[in-house]
Structure 1
């Protein structure tokens, strides 16, 4: 059976910091990460979607976490086709983000920023979360092929936001498309009553990695504030329903990353703690300063 690593989609979210989950005296940047890494074996870095990662920060993240701790890094917005503020781009480049020179430089700086994680063997995946307007079709497949060429040596995970990718006959075509590029498919948990809901599919597209992200089941998904969209507390029954599916993925993949994105106060870390407990000996945790160990 492969490893199941459970964590959250941020350790720096302001709502988490304000929640009191971090004890007094553990709230500066270094101590927060050390505290988090003593409790979970994996985290998703979401700040790299909003601003390019820096080599310095990546070096610090490696230094401040145990040897087996894993970072999944979210791809910068421009690389996934999302709108990108000019202020988020490197200085001295043309003002138009669509300029090829801008794109080439952003790719180069993103690659340099995550290289310390990759060199240290700590890069679990680079998450490409594509926008909801990226529908299945020729243009989308061309975009994915260009992304694959740029990321040839990276471990890549792909989350589509348009539900058509995983519905009906398209689902098998999507699975084959990602498998052909060596990219891991990302399954999601979210409110299924919404028209924009992605089905809770867990396709396996590479034997190396499978990723499942839990967005919460808020009815405000796709509208309202960030807090409205992600405010949700999972019950143990809801989490328990996923346990057999996660174990089945681990039977076929070397690594399964289970990441909670219901980032309102401490809801994500509490859900991650509960899921780790429910998985029992199937889950892996990191021993501070030492090798990862199975629990249960």
Structure 2
């Protein structure tokens, strides 16, 4: 029987000021403030650039002992494999402060929707494990072709966790399949803003969605299933616009705790 850790995808959002963060709170105090209310956070900046070990060391210092970080793997591993040789060692070394502090939950590898279930892409997935297998890994697929029992078995063989998702029910997108393929369970809540998912002017519009209590209750039995099958399960809210993910994280923590009493 594992544990459930609930958190948000990212924490440095200007639109959270006055909604999540007090209006006069300095940016350097965002993380310690947030860590009072959630169990973990996804670091998304690591997808776009290589963060310094000192950056992670500062994050460690600003959070309580049992707080954890999920680090999104640099885009080279999932989108630009020709650049892996440049970023592999610096990326791995940057995570050492989190490892030393026992605060690295896992590394999240997020593939694009164009990354379909093909023999070539399964070979690439094996390469990712070869590159990053020193860390606990979870992978998020964006295309429905990966929803196969054979894929789940493949992930189990690799020792890689499958990221379950909640997102709009649109053609080609991943359905809310719940499966554990490693000791780590993972769910990313992207919101259900179907209207803006593919057609938006700004990226944040896709994640402008507040889950209702009833929608979160749908996930309680699924989360309990994951918790029973894993050592640790993360529930991460990516519906970040104007702090909606923060609100939903609080709701889910309360609902899950209430349901297990």
Specify the TM-score bucket, using the shorter chain as the normaliser. over 0.9
Tell me the CA shift for residue 263 of structure 1. Answer: 1.1
1:215 matched to 2:214? The reply is no
Query: 1:235-274 maps to which residues of 2 (within 5 A)?
Result: 235-274=212-251
Match of 1:195 in 2: 171
The superposition leaves residues 190-209 of structure 1 with CA deviations (integer Å, 9 ceiling, x where unpaired) of 111x1132110111101x21
Which protein, 1 or 2, shows the higher relative CO under an 8 Å CA cutoff with sep ≥ 6? 1
Contact 1:3 1:282 in 2 (8 A): no
Query: 1:1-296 maps to which residues of 2 (within 5 A)?
Result: 1-17=1-17, 19-29=18-28, 31-82=29-80, 98=82, 102-166=83-147, 171-192=148-169, 194-206=170-182, 208-219=183-194, 220-224=196-200, 225-280=202-257
The superposition leaves residues 13-56 of structure 1 with CA deviations (integer Å, 9 ceiling, x where unpaired) of 23223x43111443322x11111111111111111111112101
Give distance in 2, aligned partners of 1:196 and 1:136: 12
For the residue of structure 2 that corresponds to 1:154, the secondary structure is coil
The superposition leaves residues 250-292 of structure 1 with CA deviations (integer Å, 9 ceiling, x where unpaired) of 1111101000000110100000000011001578xxxxxxxxx
Match of 1:87 in 2: none
Greater Cα radius of gyration, structure 1 or 2: 1
Tell me the CA shift for residue 60 of structure 1. Answer: 0.4
For the residue of structure 2 that corresponds to 1:266, the secondary structure is helix
Give the unaligned 5+ runs of structure 1: 83-96, 284-295
Greater helix content: 2
RMSD of Structure 2 on Structure 1 (CA): 1.6
Give distance in 2, aligned partners of 1:15 and 1:279: 27
The superposition leaves residues 207-233 of structure 1 with CA deviations (integer Å, 9 ceiling, x where unpaired) of x21000000001122342212211111
Give distance in 2, aligned partners of 1:110 and 1:71: 15
TM-score (norm 1): 0.84
Tell me the CA shift for residue 165 of structure 1. Answer: 0.6
Give distance in 1, aligned partners of 2:203 and 2:14: 12
Match of 1:293 in 2: none
